[in-house]
Structure 1
Amino acid sequence: MDSSNLSSLPEESLEEELEQPSKRSEAPLPTAYASVPLRSPSQSSPQKYSPLDWSGYFDEEKDVSIPDSNDVFHVYMAGTEGPVVFCLHGGGYSGLSFALSTSKIKEKARVVALDLRGHGKSSTENDLDLSVETMCNDVLAVVKEMYGESPPAIVLVGHSMGGSVAVHVAAKKILSTLAGLVVVDVVEGTAMASLIHMQKILSSRMQHFSSIEKAIEWTVKGGALRNIDSARVSIPPTLKYDDSKKCYVYRAQLEETEQYWRGWYEGLSEKFLSCPVPKLLLLAGTDRLDSSKGMELARPLTIGQMQGKFQMVVVRHTGHAIQEDAPEEFVTLILNFISRNRIGPHGVEIPGLRRPLQS
């Protein structure tokens, strides 16, 4: 799960975090939930934390209605040429988690960022059904509604919980034009080991905000996101105004979806390795693979990486949401992945993208 996002699973328990505030200030946990500020946000300049509109990054937004249901999914779109980089956010986040990255990716490829059910502006018959199977079907239904039976080349990019959904979609081998899979900062071993702490972390985070600006400030100062501009565009859709409480609360009710958490990550390594497309795993730290927690579950990935079954890149000096904290590096990695694997609108290399030299 994540902070407005879900996949950012904590690597240590909340107790350890709170007992070592000095350690936390030096290297905040990658999960938004574990980054509990020790004091309330100060009276900073509200302009510094004022919301930014999606239109500064995407070209358009629209609702995609699914036939024979009351489900309506919100998507943000950008770009006119190249393959479609189809982005799935983490638990508690929204499609705008990819906003800053999109402003650059759209120069070489198309981008679609989906608000998963229970998140952002999407509305479904059951917003609490966050089973991986249901979310997979949602993604496939949206792709079909948008592109019909002949979709363009698609690169699935999933962060945290969205990374799990992306893997499960790819493993189904239903998307005929799936050309690549990018998983951002989620590994089965550490994710599974962290699940026992999630309810405590969710309940310990700040629950109410007097304004959207305060929520943005809290998110940045708490260490959940390190890029203020990204927080200014991505945090607003993760909130909703509660008329009864006269304040902003979280849009996603993650604490009520615990029955589905294990299903997001169980068996994820083997499913990832089974996907028959080029694969890229982006990690915010090597502990995701070599932590003593979940070491046995991480072994298949370690072996697979040594055998060259996928590319792995460790992105330093960033939190859990790599695409938000380090958008420029994230864009470079995505575009190089597309170029290296000659992924284009019809399986051809994109003009203007030079293939990196093979080491």
Structure 2
Amino acid sequence: MSEFQKSFAKSKLAKLPAEAPMFDTIANPEGIREEDASSASSVSSTGTLMPSPTRHLFARTSSRFHSQSSTWSDFFAQELFFPEQLDQIHITHHVYLTPPTGSGPLFVLHHGAGSSGLTFASCTSEIQKILPKAGFLSLDARGHGQTTMTSHSKPLETETPSLAAAAHAESESEIELDLSLETLSRDLLFVIRQTQAKMGWENLPDIVLVGHSLGGAVITDLAKQGELGGKVLAYAVLDVVEGSALDALQSMEMYLSTRPIRFLSLASGIEWHTRSRMIRNSASARASVPSLIYEESEPTDSTRPWVWRTNLSATKPFWENWFIGLSRKFLDSRGGKLLLLAGTDRLDKELMIGQMQGKYQLQVFPEAGHFLHEDQPAKTAQVLVDFYKRNDRSALVLPPKVADMQAAAAMKKSDGTSEKHGVLK
């Protein structure tokens, strides 16, 4: 190859994205429009594109595809379980925690519907590379991940549930699941306060709230309540806005019917997420997918014993409740505001007006899907760190108050007069 050809090749390669998707886009099923598929992603944290059931998603792959999963300890310092009794229900809230050091901020992270706290695993790892003092608190919402619910007649679990994976769906199937926005917002505040008590913090660190999809609605609601006072520096909403989310409700049930109900193995579940481009980064998928599915102890289909932890269809009664009024709350709440989207087509009228008025920061990742923080963890991390630094009050050097300047001038004048008359100080 000539020097000219080498130079030409290098220039072309340099323009390729740093995190190129592994698989080509999979077509939508017949009868589902592209815009419906895109809109559906704003309601559910299960992807941007709808996989076709006719594609061979479980075909043998080349040896370069690695489906070995990661563990939570690869990304967080510890996991905590906070038991709570509410009426006839015992809840054991599960969170992942990396405490901040020094004056570092605490990023409080809330996932979307059907996801878990580990959806932020890769992103938090990238944030720590840039901002080593930062801490992270990422919870599993009720009905998700390892947060469990049992009836009053069963004993309260205070330790790590030994059979959480097998018993998760079975224990909650008998309980009416409350996933209203008010309840999820209350749960988030509860785990923040419990973490403060557990860690012995006299005061909370400065907090940056970050929420993806449904989580964006939850953290915005908490910011609007003002329960955490001035400790909330800012809040960031990832890929959800009120208008497109409400429009997507019409296609959500059809979308859910297209994804598989069962998987052959954990590796098959990870592979399905990457092949269908639900998650476009294989490393992120290996970190987050293991928390989304579990192996049944007594499977109804022994050939495919792995099933979803969260029944998204059961969340339908709460879909509108999550997103109605989101845009107004986002614009009106106190603190710095960031909206990070996978496409500008997701903006509704109210947010367009707010953006033109400079009421919030807007960042778009057109190369990413709905799970933009998993598809592009390094870029998302950089945006979040820059966002924090712009709102970090400790970095501000405020000018002296006028009254203080006048007092200092008067003191200086007084000292001069005293010296002139021979008064010793």
Please tell me the TM-score bracket, short chain as reference: 0.7 to 0.9
Aligned partner letter, 1:197: S
Query: Which residue in 1 is equivalent to 2:326?
Result: 268
Q: Which runs of 5+ in 1 are unaligned?
A: 1-15, 290-297, 351-359
Task: Look up the SS of the partner of 2:209 in the other structure.
Answer: strand
Correspondences of 1:137-286 after superposition (within 5 Å): 137-148=186-197, 150-176=203-229, 177-242=231-296, 243-245=298-300, 246=302, 247-286=305-344
Q: Does 1:341 align with 2:394?
A: no
Partner Cα separation in structure 2 for residue 119 and residue 323 of structure 1:
19
Give CA-to-partner distance per residue, 1:90-111, whole Å, 9 cap, x none. Answer: 1111110000111132324111
Partner Cα separation in structure 1 for residue 99 and residue 367 of structure 2:
29
Partner Cα separation in structure 2 for residue 127 and residue 238 of structure 1:
20
Give CA-to-partner distance per residue, 1:194-251, whole Å, 9 cap, x none. Answer: 0111112112211100100000001100010000010001001111222232311110
Partner Cα separation in structure 2 for residue 307 and residue 29 of structure 1:
28
Partner Cα separation in structure 1 for residue 299 and residue 40 of structure 2:
33
Query: Which residue in 1 is equivalent to 2:361?
Result: 311
Aligned partner letter, 1:230: S
Correspondences of 1:66-77 after superposition (within 5 Å): 66=84, 70-77=90-97
Does the aligned pair in 1 maintain the 2:114–2:312 contact within 8 Å?
A: yes
Query: Which residue in 1 is equivalent to 2:110?
Result: 88
Structure 1 residue 83 displacement after superposition? 1.1
Q: Does 1:52 align with 2:70?
A: yes
Query: Which residue in 2 is equivalent to 1:117?
Result: 142
Partner Cα separation in structure 2 for residue 41 and residue 336 of structure 1:
40
Give CA-to-partner distance per residue, 1:235-283, whole Å, 9 cap, x none. Answer: 0111122223231111011101211010111111001111111000000
Task: Look up the SS of the partner of 1:76 in the other structure.
Answer: strand
The partner residue of 1:300 within 336, 350, 363 is 350
Give CA-to-partner distance per residue, 1:298-352, whole Å, 9 cap, x none. Answer: 111111111111101011211101110000000100100011111xxxx4139xx
Residues 161 and 50 of structure 1, relative CA distance in 2, 3 Å threshold: same
Aligned partner letter, 2:343: G
Does the aligned pair in 1 maintain the 2:106–2:137 contact within 8 Å?
A: yes
The partner residue of 2:81 within 47, 53, 63 is 63
Q: Does 1:132 align with 2:157?
A: no
Task: Kindly name which structure, 1 or 2, has the bigger radius of gyration based on alpha carbons.
Answer: 2
Does the aligned pair in 1 maintain the 2:107–2:136 contact within 8 Å?
A: yes
Aligned partner letter, 2:382: T
Structure 1 residue 173 displacement after superposition? 1.2
Structure 1 residue 64 displacement after superposition? 2.0
Aligned partner letter, 1:40: L
% identical equivalent positions: 37
Does the aligned pair in 1 maintain the 2:50–2:258 contact within 8 Å?
A: no
Residues 215 and 28 of structure 1, relative CA distance in 2, 3 Å threshold: farther
Q: Which runs of 5+ in 2 are unaligned?
A: 1-26, 151-174, 397-425
